[in-house]
């Protein structure tokens, strides 16, 4: 269990002189208050985007994939780029919740709930792309290995796309359970404070009859630990398997053994950036500065500069291998189609380099790590860069592959391809706005758990003891 | 007493209740039987019934939900015709006749519908080969733009009424205007008609004129005819602008002959040598061993110099050093191969052709490679005759004109004058099958039947006959024009009776006639020997003087050329429009061909500059240029085509048609016919002084190949295509083999590559293993296979907007690569289709196993399993897989989802057009991948045939559509497991030239290629370097 004493030198994880009640008040307030104008504007904008996305998908399903600008050479474009991008974003949540839980990183408590929600929503968005990129989406159930009367005819277990089906559905299920099990005590809190019958009933159902008994807490703790254990390998496996979509192929630029670690690092990189984007907004809008502290922001920026540098090394390794292998096909893809700035897609490669490798280096400076404006701006830059990365990998590898005769014309998206992407933003933010309104955005129970050891007021009190000579302290402790 | 077992007291006592129970097996009344008064709905449904309903309704819902296809009605035969077995195709020998071109064909008829055309192997010239145009012509039968009934002034009438009306209107003098008539009976009928109307005459007019040759031959040989050429016996071939593999005279025949001379025997490597002079890149130029560029205005000078050189007087009057060297080479090759040399010239100038004849005479071609026995009948038009006709028409001295097969309102260089003349003709009668530009202007229109609906005969070459028989009852109210002529000249016989009468004795009675129809041809009993004609050189000196005083070229010169697929009249056929031009790889448009040098100065595009080249390649909109020719201007997009003279531009004929010709001509190009010029004797396809300016505008051109070189900034991709020169090959025959060995060394070399290149075990492949070999040396890139594949496999036409987006569906394409000097490069054509890899990268990535491997080595597609992830296509190194981006074929169940497609595609979905579909091949729905199946339907049929005859499969049982269409015989297909199959033998006999594309990937293709060997003296730069590296 936790070390019950944390040094005074460490920054407190919760600011202000909070009591348990105050914590509850602060976090549950947005749920119980009427939503602000800002919330309505945001929510309906998101719904509008979602509707545009639905229409874009409707067109694609009705008229065919020809509604997009893909062609005989470039079979995947924005669709799979967006898929990998969203899956990548969906990595931070579980990483924060599971791995940091296992590593006993107390600071995760302030951000884990929102990060996990983000994971769930991002994976939901990601899932739309492999489903709707199918030419015959109404036959999508063919990818499920179910007993059937066609022989039976099984799925192809050799195909990385099938591995994706398993990997992503497993990841989604486990993340959802993990997230929800954490929510149960907090729902109970909301239920207990409910002022209408409906709320009481709904939150009552949602909290599964939580009573807060020791038995419940004990089981809850064990479940969290088990799910954390389950999720941890998933964090690594999901993006590894997504990277297999490319790595197991024969296409120069895809056929690369470096992909699994490089993809995982990239996923964490983008996931943290997205978490930053969302949390900076949430903390401002709901006034949760005391819980999502500068310390959190800084910690996440450190992860960003680390993972950004890892992907940077991966990019350079690829370039090196493009030359060192002396394979003319690899060489062409890496040194001409990508790294040559004036080649048709050179801009996307250098966009990626600038956003993912160069700009995060700014976070070597503490001042920058703790600057909210810089952090917010950088989080957007990193997400853009990571989108470029997936676009570079997919499109620049495909559009000029082995046979020069098949080299493609310039691939650019149609409005419906963009619409589909915008639609997933709509889905994501619709979900996120609903989450922010109806769910406790910060894990109340967990905050309370760390409040004792790392809260500001607690630390202040501890300061008194720390200033005392040991004898005095010992005397005080024994003479009460 | 027998011991009795009982189960209940009831049974023991046989009570009434028990007896009732045993009588009625079920305790309760079944809800559906018995009580009539209860309605079905009122009946109570116990638990078991509930489960039954549930099961049924779930199953029904599942069945209903998964039924994708709308049910279409098929009406079975009430009385089955005796000679039709449903599902079994019949082949009828008949004849393709279009614009004077004649080819003996077999029409495949399925359930009463002709659906495919194959070459007739009994045709001694084409030997079963076909061209793209012949392959596509079956679609013309089902063309929705065909005229469906006779009209007077555009109003529908009956044939009886029109006959009556014409009888009164036939004013003298009557002129019958036709394209070249090769049919002996038609000629006889025309003669009868002319006899009936004294003062009338027959004028022959060909859209693309060969009068220069006809007149030159008349001057030098005393015969107004065209001889047969024998490229197969020529060791040295020199062509001055004659595109004999693409469009000139008889390309199918010449392609076959040329390939014979280019086939390479590894043990005794010799082949013909072809030196080509041209101004604008052509298919033949691309195939030449050596090619030299010149201005069109220099044609005369080249011929003069060549004549002088072959006579041993050296090359004179040529200032360009490269060109001069070329002529010297040509002269050397010709004189070294006297008696086995041939010179052809594409010019329509009489003097140029006279000098060509003189050169041929000097190199002893007459009677050796030029045959005057079997003279060619397919081009008989003499321009002067037509000029005279137009004059007469304008002078008002033509009373009636009957037009068949000619369309001067479109194809004559001065169409306006013809149209003006036509207005002055009292009675205008057209037999046009479609409302073409001339037919539109005629008062009486009696649409002719399609050749697949017609009786007839043809004499393509003197002494060789080909017969035509209907393969389907006329679809519309059409009548063969011969019937009309017979009627109007008072003959009571119809054309069939006339034909039978005519041939009755000549063909050898009823039996002979039947045999002639069955075979489709009558050839001379013994093959006639090649003969010479007496040469009269009197006109040569005058011709040389005339050539010397020919017009000097201006800054820019223009060549108006025919496209391989479109020719002069093919633009209305969607298959031909969508067939990529072999030279430019463009579809659906004509354009101005400019050289890379001109592009640099005029358009500021330098193909040697990576950025500019990329920009030009990846963006379909191409710069529009304005060409001015003697007051006429034309604005077209420009395509940069290497191998074109810097000061020459080219524009293709055949575009800019009247919209009444069909959906596929709408918005497609502009007509170049008005740009032709007339030199007083003949029409010329060149204009030696034009101006070209850039307009700054752009126009999208639908190219299917944007990058044209296989060397990249990171090295030459020689694993894709291999070429070398004959000299190199002779010096180092195993070069390619060693290259492959070197490449595969890390995996144990060629021998062990299959096993060592993979972690997985290698499996035996017993039984049949299908394989193909493609000889790049004999493939000339003509594209007949591409269209044959379209027809055989129901491949969708997608229209220009879709081709622009890279959505074309062709399963087989002919890649064209340039190498060497970009201003005058070497060209290699490489037919590229699914390689049917044994370790196919597409197969293992499909999540649902929709694409998988057959036990016979086929990489096969299960369309109804495919969910359309396109992963297979991405992972195909050859990019041969095609995705159905939209509902091109009307094959899926979503309503109104074809709204977004172009009219051309919708027209291909018309019920009439769909009659051309091959019922043996599934029509693919939207959202699935498709690709070459090695014509699996033919393989199945062939296997069945062998099985039915209780014998092992032989080569003759199966031919893929591409293989069958190819006149050059560059595709060999068969069972690789049979050591005696042709393909096995070919691979065994050609170990030094065989290679697999991208072999190092260990995808193990079933297709092998034979490297291109060029009979040029110089070694490639690449080999030179290699030699240096070795030494």
For domain B580-703, give the fold.
Barwin-like endoglucanases (2.40.40)
Which chain A residue shows the shortest CA-CA distance from B848? A155
Q: Is A390 on the interface with B (CB under 8 A)?
A: no
Which chain A residue shows the shortest CA-CA distance from B712? A332
Parent domain of A310: 20-145+154-457
Q: ipTM beyond 0.85?
A: yes
Exposed e or buried b for every residue in B909-937, given b needs 16+ CB within 10 A? beeebebbbbebbbebbbbbbbbbbbbbb
Residue identified by tokens 């046979």 is A403
Q: What is the number of structural domains in chain A? A: 1
Phi and psi at residue B647, to the nearest 5°: -100, 15
Q: Tell me how long chain B is.
A: 1031
The token duo for B82 is 């005796």
- Of A260, A237, A234, residue with least CA distance to A247: A260
Q: Is A66 on the interface with B (CB under 8 A)?
A: yes
CA atoms within 13 Å, Cβ hemisphere of B613: 16
User: What residues of chain A lie within 8 A of the CB of B619, using their CB?
Assistant: 409-410
Distance (Å) from the alpha carbon of B875 to chain A's nearest alpha carbon = 6
d(CA B573, CA A266): 52
d(CA B136, CA B790): 9
Over residues A203-223, the mean pLDDT reads 91
User: What residues of chain A lie within 8 A of the CB of B806, using their CB?
Assistant: 71-74, 408-409
Q: Is B92 on the interface with A (CB under 8 A)?
A: no
d(CA B137, CA B875): 36
* Distances, alpha carbon B594 to alpha carbons A53, B245, B631, B673, in Å: 45, 22, 21, 19
The token duo for B722 is 């291999």
Selected residue with higher pLDDT from A465 and A164: A164
B867 with A344: Cβ contact below 8 A? no
d(CA B534, CA B444): 47
Q: Is B745 on the interface with A (CB under 8 A)?
A: no
Task: Enumerate the H helices of B723-836 as residue ranges.
Answer: 726-731, 735-743, 749-756, 784-792, 800-804
- Environment class of B43 (CB within 10 Å of its CB; exposed 0-12, middle 13-18, buried 19+): middle
Distance (Å) from the alpha carbon of A167 to chain B's nearest alpha carbon = 14
d(CA A26, CA A287): 8
**Which of A156, A335, A403 is nearest residue B848 as measured by Cβ atoms?**
A156
B879 with A73: Cβ contact below 8 A? yes
pLDDT at site B131: 93
B878 with A142: Cβ contact below 8 A? no
d(CA A169, CA A147): 19
pLDDT at site B16: 82
A344 with B614: Cβ contact below 8 A? yes
DSSP 8-state assignment for residue A34:
P
pLDDT band at A2 (very low <50, low <70, confident <90, very high): very low
**Which of A156, A400, A405 is nearest residue B846 as measured by Cβ atoms?**
A156
d(CA B784, CA B1023): 33
Taking the CB of residue B621, how many other CB atoms lie within 10 A of it?
A: 12
- Name the stretches of chain B with pLDDT < 50: 31-35, 38, 40, 1021, 1023-1024, 1026-1031
Taking the CB of residue A450, how many other CB atoms lie within 10 A of it?
A: 21
B879 with A401: Cβ contact below 8 A? yes
Asked if residue B971 lies in contact with residue B785, where contact means CB atoms within 8 angstroms, the answer is yes
Residue A77 has pLDDT above 80, yes or no: yes
A402 with B894: Cβ contact below 8 A? no
The token duo for B1017 is 């003296």
Residue A67 lies in a domain: yes
| Domain definitions of chain B by residue range | 9-66, 225-376, 580-703, 711-1014
For domain B711-1014, give the fold.
Alpha-Beta Plaits (3.30.70)
Asked if residue B399 lies in contact with residue B374, where contact means CB atoms within 8 angstroms, the answer is no
**Which of B720, B899, B928 is nearest residue A136 as measured by Cβ atoms?**
B928
A161 with B871: Cβ contact below 8 A? yes
Q: Is B718 on the interface with A (CB under 8 A)?
A: no
CATH number at residue A138: 1.20.1630.10
**Which of A65, A153, A408 is nearest residue B806 as measured by Cβ atoms?**
A408
Asked if residue B828 lies in contact with residue B709, where contact means CB atoms within 8 angstroms, the answer is no
Q: Kindly compute the dihedral angle of the four CA atoms of residues B274, B275, B277, B283, in this order, to the nearest 10 degrees.
A: 30
pLDDT at site B655: 93
Q: Is B832 on the interface with A (CB under 8 A)?
A: yes
Contacts of B51 (CB under 8 A, 6+ apart): none
Q: Is A332 on the interface with B (CB under 8 A)?
A: yes
Which chain B residue shows the shortest CA-CA distance from A344? B614
B869 with A130: Cβ contact below 8 A? yes
Asked if residue A144 lies in contact with residue A165, where contact means CB atoms within 8 angstroms, the answer is yes
Q: Is B578 on the interface with A (CB under 8 A)?
A: no
- Strands B341-345 and B236-240 come out as parallel
DSSP 8-state assignment for residue B100:
T
- Strands B648-652 and B556-561 come out as parallel
User: What residues of chain A lie within 8 A of the CB of B813, using their CB?
Assistant: 405
**pTM (two decimals):** 0.89
Which chain A residue shows the shortest CA-CA distance from B901? A63
Alpha-carbon torsion B471, B474, B478, B480, what sign? positive
Q: Is A72 on the interface with B (CB under 8 A)?
A: yes
- Of B141, B537, B871, residue with least CA distance to A398: B871
Q: Is B873 on the interface with A (CB under 8 A)?
A: yes
User: What residues of chain B lie within 8 A of the CB of A410, using their CB?
Assistant: 618-619
pLDDT at site A127: 93
3-state secondary structure of B245: coil
Which chain A residue shows the shortest CA-CA distance from B713? A332
Contacts of B657 (CB under 8 A, 6+ apart): B410, B436, B437, B571, B572, B665, B668, B671
* Cα diameter, chain B: 134
CB interface of B with A, residues 682-711, below 8 Å: 705-710
CATH superfamily of the B225-376 domain: Dimethylsulfoxide Reductase, domain 2 (3.40.228.10)
d(CA A111, CA A288): 11
pLDDT at site A310: 94
pLDDT at site B764: 86
User: What residues of chain B lie within 8 A of the CB of A406, using their CB?
Assistant: 705, 878-879
């Amino acid at each position: 269990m936790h070390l019950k004493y944390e040094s005074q030198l460490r920054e407190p994880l919760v600011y202000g002189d909070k009591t348990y009640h105050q914590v509850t008040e602060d976090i549950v307030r947005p749920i119980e208050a009427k939503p602000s104008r800002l919330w309505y504007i945001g929510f309906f904008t998101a719904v509008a985007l979602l509707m545009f996305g639905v229409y874009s998908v409707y067109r694609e399903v009705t008229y065919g994939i020809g509604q997009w600008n893909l062609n005989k050479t470039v079979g995947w474009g924005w669709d799979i780029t967006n898929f990998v991008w969203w899956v990548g974003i969906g990595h931070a949540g579980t990483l924060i919740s599971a791995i940091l839980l296992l590593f006993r990183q107390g600071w995760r408590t302030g951000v884990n709930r929102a990060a996990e929600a983000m994971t769930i929503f991002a994976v939901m968005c990601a899932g739309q792309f492999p489903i709707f990129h199918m030419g015959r989406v109404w036959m999508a159930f063919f990818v499920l290995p179910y007993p059937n009367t066609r022989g039976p005819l099984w799925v192809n277990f050799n195909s990385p796309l099938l591995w994706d089906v398993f990997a992503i559905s497993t990841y989604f299920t486990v993340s959802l359970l993990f997230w929800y099990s954490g929510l149960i005590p907090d729902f109970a809190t909301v239920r207990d404070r409910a002022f209408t019958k409906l709320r009481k009933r709904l939150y009552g159902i949602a909290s599964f009859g939580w009573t807060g008994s020791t038995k419940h807490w004990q089981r809850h703790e064990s479940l969290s630990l088990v799910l954390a254990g389950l999720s941890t390998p998933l964090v690594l496996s999901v993006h590894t398997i997504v990277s297999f979509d490319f790595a197991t192929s024969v296409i120069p630029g895809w056929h690369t053994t470096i992909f699994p670690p490089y993809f995982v690092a990239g996923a964490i990189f983008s996931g943290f950036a997205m978490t930053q984007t969302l949390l900076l907004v949430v903390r401002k809008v709901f006034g949760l500065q005391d819980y999502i502290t500068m310390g959190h922001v800084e910690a996440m920026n450190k992860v960003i500069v680390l993972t950004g540098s890892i992907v940077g090394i991966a990019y350079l390794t690829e370039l090196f291998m493009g030359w060192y292998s002396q394979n003319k096909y690899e060489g062409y893809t890496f040194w001409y189609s990508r790294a040559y700035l004036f080649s048709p897609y050179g801009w996307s490669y250098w966009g990626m380099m600038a956003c993912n490798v160069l700009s995060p280096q700014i976070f070597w400076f503490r001042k920058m790590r703790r600057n909210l404006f810089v952090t917010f701006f950088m989080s957007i830059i990193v997400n853009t860069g990571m989108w470029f990365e997936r676009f570079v990998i997919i499109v620049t590898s495909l559009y000029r592959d082995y046979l020069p005769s098949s080299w493609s014309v310039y691939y650019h998206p149609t409005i419906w391809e963009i619409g589909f992407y915008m639609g997933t933003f709509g889905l994501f933010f619709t979900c996120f706005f609903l989450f922010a309104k109806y769910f406790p955005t910060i894990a109340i129970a967990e905050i309370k758990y760390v409040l004792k050891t790392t809260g500001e007021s607690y630390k202040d009190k501890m300061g008194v003891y720390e200033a005392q000579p040991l004898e005095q302290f010992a005397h005080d402790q024994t003479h009460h | 007493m027998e011991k009795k077992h009982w189960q209940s007291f009831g049974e023991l006592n046989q009570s009434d209740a028990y007896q009732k129970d045993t009588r009625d097996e079920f305790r309760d009344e079944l809800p559906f039987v018995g009580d009539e008064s209860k309605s079905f709905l009122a009946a109570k449904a116990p638990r078991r019934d509930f489960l039954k309903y549930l099961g049924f309704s779930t199953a029904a819902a599942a069945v209903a939900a998964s039924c994708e296809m709308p049910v279409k009605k098929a009406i079975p035969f009430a009385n089955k015709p005796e000679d039709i077995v449903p599902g079994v195709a019949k082949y009828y020998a008949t004849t393709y006749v279009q614009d004077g071109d004649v080819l003996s064909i077999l029409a495949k008829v399925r359930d009463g519908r002709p659906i495919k055309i194959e070459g007739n192997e009994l045709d001694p010239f084409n030997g079963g080969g076909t061209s793209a145009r012949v392959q596509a012509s079956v679609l013309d039968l089902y063309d929705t733009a065909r005229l469906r009934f006779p009209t007077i002034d555009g109003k529908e009438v009956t044939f009886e009424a029109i006959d009556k009306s014409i009888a009164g209107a036939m004013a003298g003098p009557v002129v019958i205007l036709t394209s070249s008539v090769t049919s002996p009976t038609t000629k006889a009928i025309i003669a009868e008609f002319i006899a009936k109307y004294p003062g009338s005459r027959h004028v022959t007019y060909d859209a693309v004129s060969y009068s220069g040759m006809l007149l030159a031959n008349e001057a030098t040989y005393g015969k107004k005819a065209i001889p047969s050429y024998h490229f197969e016996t020529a060791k040295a071939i020199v062509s001055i602008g004659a595109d004999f593999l693409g469009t000139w005279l008889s390309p199918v025949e010449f392609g076959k002959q040329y390939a014979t001379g280019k086939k390479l025997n590894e043990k005794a490597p010799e082949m013909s040598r072809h030196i080509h002079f041209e101004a604008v890149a052509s298919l033949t130029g691309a195939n030449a061993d050596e090619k030299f560029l010149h201005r069109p205005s220099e044609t005369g000078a080249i011929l003069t110099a060549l004549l002088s050189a072959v006579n041993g007087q050296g090359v004179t009057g040529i200032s360009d050093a490269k060109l001069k060297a070329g002529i010297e080479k040509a002269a050397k090759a010709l004189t070294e191969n006297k008696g086995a040399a041939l010179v052809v010239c594409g010019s329509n100038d009489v003097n140029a052709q006279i000098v060509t004849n003189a050169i041929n005479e000097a190199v002893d071609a007459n009677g050796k490679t030029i045959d005057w026995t079997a003279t060619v009948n397919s081009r008989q038009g003499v321009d002067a005759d037509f000029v005279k006709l137009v004059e007469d028409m304008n002078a008002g001295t033509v009373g009636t004109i009957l037009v068949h097969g000619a369309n001067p309102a479109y194809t004559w260089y001065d169409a306006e004058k013809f149209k003006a003349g036509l207005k002055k003709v009292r009675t205008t009668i057209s037999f046009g099958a479609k409302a073409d530009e001339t037919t539109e202007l005629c008062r009486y229109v009696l649409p002719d039947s399609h050749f697949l609906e017609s009786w007839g005969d043809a004499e393509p070459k003197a002494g060789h006959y080909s017969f035509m028989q209907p393969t389907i009852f006329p679809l519309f109210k059409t009548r063969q024009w011969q019937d009309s002529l017979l009627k109007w000249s008072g003959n009571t016989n119809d054309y069939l009776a006339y034909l039978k009468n005519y041939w009755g004795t000549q063909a050898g009675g009823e039996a002979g006639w039947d045999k002639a129809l069955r075979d489709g041809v009558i050839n001379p009993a013994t093959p006639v020997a090649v003969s010479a004609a007496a040469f009269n050189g009197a006109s040569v000196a005058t011709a040389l003087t005339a050539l010397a005083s020919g017009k000097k070229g201006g800054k820019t010169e223009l060549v108006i050329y025919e496209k391989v697929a479109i020719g002069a009249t093919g633009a209305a056929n969607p298959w031909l429009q969508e067939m990529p031009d072999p030279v430019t790889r463009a579809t659906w448009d004509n354009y101005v061909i400019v050289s890379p040098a001109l592009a640099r100065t005029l358009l500021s595009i330098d193909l040697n500059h990576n950025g500019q080249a990329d920009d030009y390649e990846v963006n379909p909109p191409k710069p529009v240029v304005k060409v001015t020719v003697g007051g006429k201007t034309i604005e077209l997009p420009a395509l940069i085509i290497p191998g074109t003279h810097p000061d020459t531009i080219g524009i293709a004929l055949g575009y800019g048609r009247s919209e009444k010709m069909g959906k596929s001509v709408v918005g497609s190009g502009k007509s170049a016919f008005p740009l032709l010029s007339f030199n007083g004797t003949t029409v010329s396809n060149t204009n030696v002084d034009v101006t070209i300016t850039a307009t700054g505008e752009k126009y999208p051109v639908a190219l299917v190949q944007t990058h044209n070189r296989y060397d990249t900034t990171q090295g030459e991709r020689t694993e894709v295509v291999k070429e070398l020169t004959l000299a190199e090959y002779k010096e180092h025959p195993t070069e390619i083999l060693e290259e492959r060995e070197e490449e595969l060394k890390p995996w144990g070399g060629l021998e062990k590559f299959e096993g060592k290149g993979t972690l997985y075990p290698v499996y035996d492949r017993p039984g049949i293993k299908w394989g193909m070999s493609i000889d790049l040396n004999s493939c000339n890139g003509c594209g007949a296979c591409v269209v044959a594949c379209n027809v055989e496999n129901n491949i969708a036409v997608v229209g220009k907007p879709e081709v622009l987006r890279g959505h074309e569906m062709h399963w087989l394409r002919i890649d064209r690569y340039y190498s060497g000097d970009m201003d005058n490069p070497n060209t290699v054509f490489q037919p590229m289709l699914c390689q049917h890899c044994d370790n196919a990268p597409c197969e293992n990535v499909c999540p649902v196993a929709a694409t998988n491997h057959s036990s016979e080595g086929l990489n096969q597609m299960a369309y109804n399993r495919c969910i359309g992830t396109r992963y297979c296509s991405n992972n195909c190194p050859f990019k041969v897989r095609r995705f159905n981006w939209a509902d091109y074929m009307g094959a899926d169940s979503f309503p109104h989802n074809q709204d977004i497609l172009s009219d051309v595609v919708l027209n291909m979905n018309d019920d009439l057009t769909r009659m051309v579909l091959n019922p043996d091949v599934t029509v693919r729905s939207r959202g699935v991948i498709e690709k070459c199946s090695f014509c699996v339907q033919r393989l199945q049929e062939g296997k069945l045939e062998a099985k039915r005859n209780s014998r092992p499969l032989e080569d003759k049982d199966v031919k893929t559509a591409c293989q069958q269409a190819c006149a050059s015989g560059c595709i060999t297909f068969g069972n690789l497991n049979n050591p005696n199959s042709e393909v096995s033998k070919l691979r065994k006999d050609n170990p030094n030239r065989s290679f697999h594309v991208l072999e190092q990937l260990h995808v193990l293709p079933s297709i092998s290629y034979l490297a291109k060997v060029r009979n040029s003296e110089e070694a490639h730069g690449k080999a030179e370097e290699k030699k240096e590296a070795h030494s």
